[in-house]
A and B are shown apart, each in its own frame.
Chain A
Amino acid sequence: MIAFWILAPIMVLAALGILFVRKAVHAALLLAVVMISLAVLYASLDAPFLFAVQIIVYTGAILMLFLFVLMLVGVDASDSVVETIRGQRILAIGAGVLLGTGLVVGLGQISLGTAVGLDDANAPGNIQALADILFSRYVFAFETTSALLITAAVGAMVLAHRERLTPKARQPELAAQRVKDYAEKGTHIGPLPPPGVYARHNAVDTPALLPDGTAAPTSVSRVLIARGTIRSAPATADAIDEIEKQIGWAPHSGGSGAATPPATTDEEAPAAGDGA
């Protein structure tokens, strides 16, 4: 019972979190908390087999499948707050509160008496006893399950399969398309520019600078631009100024030999100037 009183509030909070978090990935992680707690509750209810199955099937397979699909669906997975049916959210919450209080109050009225306990039923071991029932009384349902699983596997393959309607574009076609784009729309025919390489920063999220000082949008990945995680090169230069102020050194005022602090070398001073 101690496990129950520790895990029950965690489970309810995590389940409520699924209702309120904005990102689907966070909802999946909260669902993992609920499922692992459920597995522990199964163990405390004398169901060691279901404890293992819950962890392997639910947290191992199903939640990983959820996370995998979230990865494929990607950034778009955030929830919209616009209601399409007016008052639907309020009505849904009202109905939920009614259902919840009805169930809890109703369950509070009944008295179940003391539990019989599974000591007798689990006498030959939980897995052996379960197998005994599964392969005698429930054998037809068990066999039907196999048909269900095969149908599900085939259905998933049919749904996920995409027939190729047009032939795959290969190197000659891609090259011809480039030249065609150049002739018709004036698109740059060569490769895309690489990201900016500066003295203090040369990661792929820093756009290269054009001759007029603006950032070249084609030099960084579209995905990074869509996420808004682009680092601007002048901002990096500002950070360098800040650092130099903190170490008490002003390279722009004097030459490289005018003030030589021990923290930096002479090569970095003109390179930092280039970045700005």
Chain B
Amino acid sequence: MNIQAYVVLSAILFTIGCVGVLTRRNAIVVFMCVELMLNASNLALVAFAKQHGNLDGQIAAFFVMVVAAAEVVVGLAIIMTIFRTRRSASVDDASLLKY
């Protein structure tokens, strides 16, 4: 049982999430791509837990999930607040500090 394939898959998913964060304009989709990156790192953690035969990796993945849940709650609340004041969920519209 070789876990290298799992790690490669995790790297690919992480890269796709990265490109998504950089290219998409909708704040909610950007957020989904951040979740995709977190999930990819979780896959690597669980795979390495199996490789090394101890459960620390699974514990780390569990903590990542908890932090991701908290992050999503606050992040989506921020997106909702921005949408309420600007009627837009685009990451380009909230650029007041630029001018």
Contacts and interface: CB of A to CB of B under 8 A. Distances in A.
Interface of A: 1, 4, 8, 11-12, 15-16, 18-19, 24, 27-28, 31, 34-35, 38, 41-42, 45-47, 49-50, 53-54, 57-58, 61-62, 65-66, 69-70, 72-73, 76-80, 84, 88-89, 92-93, 95-96, 99-100, 103-104, 107-108, 110-112, 114-118, 120-122, 126, 129-130, 133-134, 138, 141, 145, 148-149, 151-153, 155-156, 159-160, 162
B39 A159 contact: no
A92 B21 CA distance: 9
Contact of A19 (B5, B23, B63): B23
Given A1-B1, A77-B28, A159 B80 contact: yes
Main secondary structure of the interface of A (DSSP, over half): helix
B78 A54 contact: no
Contact of A159 (B11, B14, B32, B77): B77
Given A31-B36, A34-B13, A145 B19 contact: no
Given A1-B5, A4-B5, A116-B53, 10 more contacts: A4-B6, A57-B65, A69-B28, A72-B83, A88-B22, A100-B16, A115-B1, A116-B51, A130-B59, A155-B73
A96 B79 contact: no
A57 B61 CA distance: 13
Given A4-B6, A66-B32, A80-B90, A42 B65 contact: no
B38 to A, nearest CB: 9
18 contacts: A1-B1, A4-B5, A15-B17, A18-B29, A47-B49, A53-B65, A58-B65, A62-B68, A62-B72, A70-B28, A73-B89, A79-B26, A79-B90, A95-B18, A103-B15, A116-B50, A117-B1, A153-B73
Nearest to B44: A107
Nearest to A56: B65
B13 A108 contact: no
Contacts of A138: 59, 63
A145 B67 CA distance: 8
Contacts of B78: 159
Given A18-B29, A118-B53, A156-B73, A93 B62 contact: no
B70 interface: yes
B1 A42 contact: no
A99 B18 CA distance: 9
Nearest to A122: B55
Contact of A115 (B2, B39, B79): B2
A38 B42 contact: yes
Nearest to B79: A69
B89 A77 contact: yes
B51 A93 contact: no
Contacts of A76: 87-89
A118 B55 contact: yes
Contacts of B18: 95-96, 99
Closest 8 CB pairs of A and B: A116-B53, A92-B22, A96-B19, A152-B70, A100-B15, A159-B77, A103-B11, A156-B77
For B22, B72, B79, the residue with the greatest tally of chain A CB atoms inside 10 Å of its CB is: B72
Contact of A66 (B8, B23, B65, B76): B76
Contact of B24 (A11, A19, A53, A57): A19
